Amino acid sequence: MLKTGPTVTALVAISFLTVALQIPRDAWASTAALSLGSGVAALSLMAWAAVLGGRWRFVEAAFGGLDRVYETHKWLGVWALGLASFHLVFSASSDAWTSAAIVPLPRPATRLIRQLSFVVLMLIVLLALNRKIPYSVWRWWHKLSGPSLLVVIAHWLTFKSPIALLSPAGLWLATVSALGAAAALYKLLLYPLLSNHAEYRLVAVSPSDSAARLELAPVKRGLDFAPGQFAFVAWQHPGLREPHPFTIASADRPDGHIAFVIRALGDYTGRLLAEATPGMRASVYAPFGRFERAGNGAREIWVAGGVGITPFLAWLQDERADGLDRVTLFYFYTPGRGLPETVDLETLAQRRGVEYIPITTGPGTPSFVQRFARIVGDDGASPVRISFCGPKGLLKRLRSLMHEHGVADTQLHYEQFEFR
């Protein structure tokens, strides 16, 4: 599976290598060469970020899940901004180089394109990292990532440099630019038409103080999905039309119904829970994600934090699943912020033979630490498989506990809990 670090490293290395083939060896360590390489790398990272943002199935398969794709997508943007900053500060030209623009334009136009390319990249990255921006604003501004890529491509084509179109660096940039532009245009124009989606109608709302279970029925046809996967839901309701990711909290059913357990964690989810009423319709884009059980009779530990319980709810409701009598489920939640009353997690776990341990006092509580140690001690570290979905702080404590008892990181499978 592709990972964030190696992906970013490979793209940057290819960019600098192709640039090195274009300039004299004695200029490789100059600020001009480093600036030129940084510019090529920044464009390459932006283009690949667009490819990852296209939600193409083969890309998700290569990274092992759309949650991993979005994690890499974010860091591609961060590194692109850093490299673009270096490219902007230092001149990417030298009197010793033979430079020409692939598409010549008047100097004022090329300067304007250059400044715009940096500004739009900076805005997009800052939007992606700032969680305080309302979701509706974030989504609309983030849509500019596709057009902004075209601005950066225009900067490359109109900027005087030693990179000819048919040179190694030119062919590299042309390839990644074409892929990125195709992905951006697909996401903006074709995705709503060609992606796997269906229309659903909200049939039941089961609220609690801070969360609700929403059950939807297909209007015509339902979507096939596996327990543990998630969907993007776009409600046909003012203020809720932008697709938002939610983990599916039910197993595949004969009647095609699908359920989500949603907590009010921001402006979008708060408004959704306040205005959700039976009869509302939504377009559901699914399935995504590869959060799958270990299976094969393994001794399983499930660890959920807050709304991270949702994929485990789907696993518990999967009537085709076996080996659940070898599962221990730890559920961390804040008192008063548990599941809706209609979701009886304890009864569901008992019916499926799962050992259920609710925890309201944090990851240091003895009921978690001691029971975890007993499971590893009884079964050995190697056979234990751990599945996790929850906040990063809880994941960090879980990993620390694993290391204390000799459980390898490879035995942990977790879902990225946050997209933004």
Q: Is 13 strand, coil or helix?
A: helix
Per-residue pLDDT band at 130 (split at 50, 70, 90): low
Per-residue pLDDT band at 136 (split at 50, 70, 90): low
Mean pLDDT of 276-289: 95
- Which range has the worst mean pLDDT, 40-49, 132-141, 370-379? 132-141
The CA distance from 169 to 290, in Å, is: 36
Distance of CA 134 to the CA centre of its chain: 18
Question: Mean pLDDT, the chain, as a whole number?
Answer: 89
Element (DSSP H or E) covering residue 214: strand 211-218
pLDDT of res. 131: 62
Reported as a single tens digit per residue, the pLDDT across 234-272 is 999 998 988 889 999 999 889 999 999 998 888 888 999
- Which range has the worst mean pLDDT, 49-53, 108-112, 215-219? 108-112
- Which range has the worst mean pLDDT, 110-119, 161-170, 366-375? 110-119
pLDDT of res. 413: 93
The percentage of the chain sitting over the pLDDT mark of 90, rounded to a whole number, equals 59
Q: Over 70: is that where the pLDDT of 384 sits?
A: yes
409 burial class (0-12, 13-18, 19+ CB within 10 angstroms)?
A: exposed
Are 225 and 259 a contacting pair, CB within 8 Å? no
Contacts 24+ apart (CB under 8 A), 3-7: 3/63, 3/68, 3/72, 4/68, 4/71, 4/72, 4/75, 7/48, 7/72, 7/76
Q: CA separation (Å) from 143 to 53, 233, 241?
A: 10, 17, 14
- Which range has the worst mean pLDDT, 162-166, 359-363, 378-382? 378-382
CATH number of 197-288: 2.40.30.10
Q: Give residue limits of the domains in the chain.
A: 4-193, 197-288, 299-415
Mean pLDDT of 204-226: 91
Let me know if the fold of 197-288 is the same as that of 299-415: no
Mean pLDDT of 92-111: 86
Residues 6+ away with beta carbon under 8 Å from 150: 181, 184
- Which range has the worst mean pLDDT, 245-249, 250-254, 302-306, 376-380? 376-380
CATH number of 299-415: 3.40.50.80
Q: Over 80: is that where the pLDDT of 72 sits?
A: yes
The CA distance from 110 to 103, in Å, is: 10
The CA distance from 113 to 104, in Å, is: 13
Of residues 369 and 342, more confidence is placed in 369
In what side-by-side order are the strands of the sheet with 384-389? 355-359, 327-332, 299-305, 384-389, 412-415
Q: CA separation (Å) from 212 to 188, 237, 259, 323, 340?
A: 31, 18, 10, 29, 6
Q: Over 70: is that where the pLDDT of 135 sits?
A: no
Q: Over 90: is that where the pLDDT of 337 sits?
A: no
pLDDT of res. 418: 61
Q: Over 70: is that where the pLDDT of 286 sits?
A: yes
pLDDT of res. 417: 57
Per-residue pLDDT band at 230 (split at 50, 70, 90): very high
The CA distance from 85 to 199, in Å, is: 44
Between strands 327-332 and 299-305, the pairing is: parallel
Reported as a single tens digit per residue, the pLDDT across 163-188 is 999 999 999 999 999 999 999 999 88
pLDDT of res. 36: 95
The CA distance from 365 to 69, in Å, is: 34
Are 120 and 154 a contacting pair, CB within 8 Å? no
Q: Over 70: is that where the pLDDT of 80 sits?
A: yes
pLDDT of res. 134: 66
Mean pLDDT of 111-137: 71
Element (DSSP H or E) covering residue 121: helix 107-129
